[in-house]
Amino acid sequence: MKPAPSFRRSEPDARRQSLIEACARVLAKAGATGASVRAIATEAGVSPGLVGHYFDGVDALVAATYHHVDGKVAAALDAAVLAAGPAPRARLEAFVTASFAPPIADPQLLATWIAFWSLVTARPDIARQHDEQYAGYRARLEALLRNCGLADSALRIAAISVTALVDGLWLELCLSPACFSAKEAGTIARRHLDALTSPAG
């Protein structure tokens, strides 16, 4: 009889992906402080040395994880918009309220995100990643707002305000879920969109 293989080989991309997802789980569970090479390797079920084989140090792994998680969120938002149909206002609402439902409204995702924020101060490359990603987020929001008839002159401020409100609601919804519900967050956000799209001036 053959002894069970002590490990399996994987496709390089699959192994990289596995390490990235393990890194995200560790960041969510233990924060930036606990995201050590050994903890990530254990979470992924591999030996510590493998991290160095696929990434130039743990910093590069964290940066890759940031990029991956950002892509996951963007995909979830796009899917929500696509599922909303062609009506501009429905698409806008879908984009906004998707942040209050899985997989975005997830305490683990917030914990991962906070770990990234905690690195912005000390890591210029992470800071740049953050700026680019937020600029992209606001750009997509501006496009959705424009389709709802918002004047070009008001677009920038409107996108900033909606982004801030959604971020704040998402943050507190994840940090203390008992305080208010996802449904209430959606109501608040929709009311804000109403005030923006029908100026009572």
Partner DNA sequence: TTGCCTGTTGGACGATCGTACAACAACGGC
Partner DNA sequence: GCCGTTGTTGTACGATCGTCCAACAGGCAA
Q: Which chain residues interact with DNA by CB under 7 A?
A: 3, 5-10, 12, 15, 34-39, 45-53, 57-59
- A 10 A CB-CB count for 51 gives 22
Reading phi first (left if > 0) and then psi (alpha if -120 to 50, else beta), residue 189 is in alpha
Q: Which does 119 bind (CB under 5 to 8 A by kind): a copy of itself, DNA, none?
A: a copy of itself
Contacts of 172 (CB under 8 A, 6+ apart): 179, 180
Residue from 61, 119, 145, 150 touching a copy of itself (CB under 8 A): that is: 119
Residue 57 binds a copy of itself (CB under 8 A): no
Q: Which does 200 bind (CB under 5 to 8 A by kind): a copy of itself, DNA, none?
A: a copy of itself
Contacts of 11 (CB under 8 A, 6+ apart): none
Binding mask 68-107 for a copy of itself (x = CB under 8 A): ---------------------------------------x
* Complex with a copy of itself: residue 46 or 169, whichever CB lies closer: 169
d(CA 78, CA 169): 20
